[in-house]
Structure 1
């Protein structure tokens, strides 16, 4: 069995157009604002990964899109730790990474295909993303875990989406265990994080990026939505145990969140 095999995830039909939409003029202003932010980020070059720059630029992206950010005071990394923190979150949208970067600059793990995406791939490479090759079979899995463990041992906070694909709701899918082995090997804490989207006080799937849908359709729904917000909830860290226990514990906490 291919260790990289992932659940099918939700079909694109689960992503529903926003009930409350902005005017065409406002949508055009959002596209223009996003283009300005992305252009400025590209001009920063390697400086995009400097200090607090990713957080600032991520917040600018959210503002340009008209997306509100709700985040509690709990940081993603565990303060005072000798090693890094493995941040694990549910996966709904392409906006998840932007929202998490807007809370705290972190490096992240992504599938190899992301490196070839226009603009997004450039940003991911400059942010020091660790790309994984799902076609590598079983032999590639220990290498990925080893590299992730090295990053954690070196003090880096790394974001992973253990569901490996996107779902329209927080509780869809399940957490794969491989990344949690890296936390065990490095002696790193696991920080479970819940990411959710709301519009008009109700849970929304407008930001969801599902199935075989192209990026353009997902972006249009976000641009069109009035009053869309993303909430990032960081839960208490988990320590010790084996990868099975950590994966199941993190999954339970994220779903409750």
Structure 2
């Protein structure tokens, strides 16, 4: 598909999201998650992004819930993960303001964090613990706190790992890397001053993007938070390089 055709399909797909949002307000959470998963899969199809899933796939797709720890490259990371399995994301508060995507995030039950306000952390961890206690769904965090170029993994912040200790949950490392023509690419990277529209244009102009999602072995939270975050950071970085 060429860029113009993809743009038209994307506009229609965003309109579908508005209709779904209006409908999902009155639907049970499990139904809304299936609808959002369908929407995420369609989004990736429109953009012609192929997913390759490797590693401990059955652990990820099974019924057990984990604290999923992932590197963060693009706004695409969330629909990529959600298309594979509905999970609850801890997202930056500014995602709320994104058109349509912000609505989908709120309806999906995302937990929002203000990374510029440390006093917000206990509230976020409490929300994560409450979720683990009452829901069977995994939570996914991006401990880099910002998006990277995709060529490296940035230092992890360990604060949100506290929930794994308090809720007694295994941590599941997940590494994401984007390839174009089988070579690591920064085409999908959403960092710096890049706008959402600029990022979409860059992605839509290629039909050769593959995202490789590698699931690592579950890790028990038995070390200090800092040691644990460093261990997971190194494990994920090893899959990228």
Q: TM-score scaled by structure 1?
A: 0.83
Q: C-alpha distance in 2, partners of 1:60/1:221?
A: 18
Report what 2:82 is aligned to. Answer: 101
Structure 2 counterpart of 1:131, from 89, 109, 112: 112
2:225 alignment partner in structure 1: 243
Contact 1:191–1:238 (Cα < 8 Å) also in 2: yes
2:57 alignment partner, one of 74, 92, 98: 74
The alpha-carbon deviation at position 228 of structure 1 amounts to 1.0
Equivalent residue number for residue 159 of structure 2: 178
1:55 Cα shift?
2.3
Aligned equivalents of 1:57 and 1:167: distance in 2? 25
Helix, strand or coil: the match of 2:57? coil
CA–CA distance in structure 2, aligned partners of residues 78 and 207 of structure 1: 25
- The superposition leaves residues 142-170 of structure 1 with CA deviations (integer Å, 9 ceiling, x where unpaired) of 22122212212333311110000011125
1:213 partner SS: coil
Displacement of 1:75 after TM fit? Answer: 4.6
1:251 deviates by: 1.0
Structure 1: stretches of 5+ with no match in the other structure: 1-21
Alignment of 1:51-66 (within 5 A): 51-66=33-48
Point out the structure with the larger helix share.
Answer: 2
- Asked if residue 42 in structure 1 is aligned to residue 7 in structure 2, the reply is no
- In structure 1, how many angstroms separate the alpha carbons of the residues matched to 2:141 and 2:81? 11
Provide TM-score, normalisation by structure 2: 0.88
Structure 2 distance, partners of 1:222, 1:75, is 30
Number of the residue aligned with 1:216 = 197
Q: What secondary structure sits across from 2:155 in the alignment?
A: coil
Name the structure 1 match of 2:120.
Answer: 140
Contact 2:150 2:178 in 1 (8 A): no
User: CA 1:140/1:85 → structure 2, altered by over 3 Å: closer, same or farther?
Assistant: same
Structure 2 residue runs without a partner (length 5+): none
Q: Which has the higher contact order (CA 8 A, sep 6+)?
A: 1
Within 5 Å, give how 1:194-233 maps onto structure 2: 194-233=175-214
Please say if residues 193 and 232 of structure 1, whose CA atoms lie closer than 8 Å, have aligned partners that are also in contact: yes
Q: Distance in 1 between matches of 2:86 and 2:209?
A: 23
Q: How well do the aligned residues superpose, as a CA RMSD in angstroms?
A: 2.0
Find runs of 4+ consecutive structure 1 residues off by over 4 angstroms: 75-78
Contact 1:109 1:129 in 2 (8 A): yes
Secondary structure of the equivalent of 1:147? helix
Q: Distance in 1 between matches of 2:211 and 2:176?
A: 7
Q: d(CA) in 1 for partners of 2:167 and 2:51?
A: 32
- The offset of 1:195, in angstroms, is 0.4
Q: Deviations over 1:192-250 (max 9, x none)?
A: 00000001111111000011221111110000013111111111111131322321221
In structure 2, the partner of 1:119 is 100
